[in-house]
Chains A and B, each alone.
Chain A
Amino acid sequence: MERAEIFEKLNEVFRDVFDDESITVGEDTTAKDVEGWDSLRHITLLAAIEDEFDIEFSMGQTVSMKNVGEMVDFIQEEL
């Protein structure tokens, strides 16, 4: 799957999880840039992404991803 396509799907997941249609994530987007993306919602977000792409993030990936760009790297690794 191409990166652009992954980002497109990710935007939908983010909008759904955070109930905000205006969200558009990019390579450098971090938790600080999205309102409500705290440690509690992080797992909910990852679970929704796992469902969307039919993948499973390892715990190492879960705790170490620093921005959405890294998240996309991990998704590509798992696909």
Chain B
Amino acid sequence: MSLTSFYFLIFVLCTVLLYYAAPAKYRWTVLLAASVVFYVSYSIVGIFILSATALITYFSALRIEKIGDGYKSWLAENKQNASREERHARKKASQSHQRRYVAFVVTVSVGLLFLFKYYGYFASGINRAFSAHLWTAENLLLPLGISFYSLQLIGYVIDVSRGITKAEKNPLKVILYGSFFLSIMQGPFNRYNHLMPQLCREEKTKLSFYKFKLAVLKISWGYIKKMCIADQIGCIAREVFTNYTNYSGLGIALGMIAFAVQLYADFSGYMDIICGIGELMGIEMPQNFRQPFFSGNMSEFWRRWHITLGAWLKDYIFYPILKSKAFLKMNKGLSKTLGKKAGERIPTYLGMFILWTLIGAWHGAGFNYVFGVGILQFIYIVSGELTKPLTDRLNKLLHLKEGSLPLRIIQSVRCTLLMIFAWVFFNSSSFTAAVHMLGRLFAGKPGLSQIQAVFYSDSGILSGSGKIWLIYIVLCVLVLLIADFLHEKDVFIREKIEKKPYVARVLVYLTIVFSIIVFGAYGDQVDVSNFIYFNF
């Protein structure tokens, strides 16, 4: 059931109506049923794999909490009598016992993720290298949302061990947490203590007409981004990336820019759609984007792009790595020999390298992902930090004040160009293909003829005049930029629209509807059914 299909809209309508018709106490069961129906519309087998993982997580979390409670009650009874060493030893033993259950859940979740997502890639590689005949898992279909629900469930069990979340007593609620239909396809990464109190709230909530209109506006904006911008401009990106050997210079540059626009409109459009649907039921989904192209540097970019993935990795991977005994030891050892700064930086950079490699690998099985969305990002961030004194001096020389508009524009353009470059690896079929495509960027004759060539390609995906296409791209970029600029300035566009007189509001609604009908991408040549991050 694609998010852009008519069936999905009917499905959402039924879910929202049933949600409000059900007694408040049982509304979560409507969400569970909707999530199962949504999941089964993609895969029946997958729901069993998801449920089994969720149940293993459920039982482990209960056990972890029991172990923690055991330590707490011992501490309450013996706080006065027990020595500090004894308390410390008891705490360590309890944590170590809990860690075994956490490790069990991590092994199961990551094991399944590896089997479905990465095993085939490695097995094929081994077969090619050693002429072996390993099973390559060709018949295994990647269960919907496995990259998302696996990490969410791991996060839940770790939170229980850390005492941040109470263990859930109802196994069906853990299944709901894993399968929630608004985040199963492309995230965002939820936290149990943020999402579940909202899904399982027992007090009756009502949807006012005002909030309904705001939610519908958000959903509509998401569909405009997806269907009128991402899917349309995606045709250009698809043509150039698929047939990159036919193009060079500006033709390749056009494809690269088109993909960046497509990716942002596609992913953030999806987020707007699901956040708007959440708002219809009084559910606040976590923010995943915060005007990423207005970032001052690459670290900031990643705090504004796919925010929930970064936050998840920081809390559950990066901090534990840096706080591990080995890293703390390294920090101290290097501080003594190389000085305080180096002692601090080297382990941090090593931790960052591990983190970024994992982020790259999470995006897909292939070195193009590991490099483009992983190692290259690490290089960007670290080199940005190491060259900061130099860039500061340069800015001073050019009289560019920190925070001034000209400098912000330069920084934003720099970040955008770096990401356009990196996404070539993300969107290419392989690392080699990406390198070849980038090589063609600087090959061939310069000139606008290459851009014309893209629009009059043999594939037939793109039709119409090149000039109209170029105007369309510029308009789309402008629309996205203006919307982001207003959000950056804390202008709440939806609220502003709703405060306008009746006629103005009707005009806005009609513009939205006609934009989707007229500019939306439809037809056999356009793959509107899938979002780029779908099924990662």
Contact = CB atoms under 8 A, between A and B. Distances in A.
A39 B162 contact: no
A64 B323 CA distance: 15
A59 B348 contact: no
Contacts of A40: 348, 352
Contact of B328 (A39, A42, A47, A64): A47
A63 B164 contact: yes
Interface in A46-62: 46-47, 58-60, 62
B344 A64 contact: no
Nearest to A39: B314
- Interface size range of chain B in the complex: 10 to 19
Contacts of A62: 319, 323
Contacts of B95: 58
Given A44-B331, A47-B328, A64-B164, A59 B344 contact: no
B163 interface: yes
A43 interface: yes
Contact of B323 (A39, A41, A43, A79): A43
Interface residues of A, number: 15
B162 A63 contact: yes
B241 interface: no
Contacts, number: 38
Contacts of A44: 331, 344, 348
Interface string B321-354: 0110000100100000000000010001000100
Contacts of B348: 40, 43-44
B162 A58 contact: yes
A62 B320 CA distance: 9
Interface in B156-173: 158, 161-164
B488 interface: no
Nearest to B343: A44
Nearest to B349: A40
Contact of A60 (B162, B322, B328): B162
Contact of B320 (A39, A41, A42, A59): A59
B344 A60 contact: no
Contacts of A64: 162, 164
A58 B158 CA distance: 12
A40, A41, A47, A58, most chain B CB atoms within 10 A: A40
A43 to B, nearest CB: 4
A60 B164 contact: yes
Nearest to B318: A39
Given A40-B348, A44-B344, A47-B331, A63 B319 contact: yes
Given A40-B348, A47-B331, A58-B95, A63 B322 contact: no
A50 to B, nearest CB: 8
A46 B344 CA distance: 12
Given A40-B352, A58-B95, A59-B162, 17 more contacts: A39-B314, A39-B318, A43-B319, A43-B322, A43-B323, A43-B348, A44-B344, A44-B348, A58-B162, A59-B319, A59-B320, A60-B162, A60-B163, A62-B319, A62-B323, A63-B162, A63-B315
Interface of A: 39-44, 46-47, 58-60, 62-64, 79
11 contacts: A39-B314, A41-B344, A43-B348, A44-B344, A44-B348, A46-B323, A47-B328, A60-B162, A60-B163, A63-B164, A63-B319
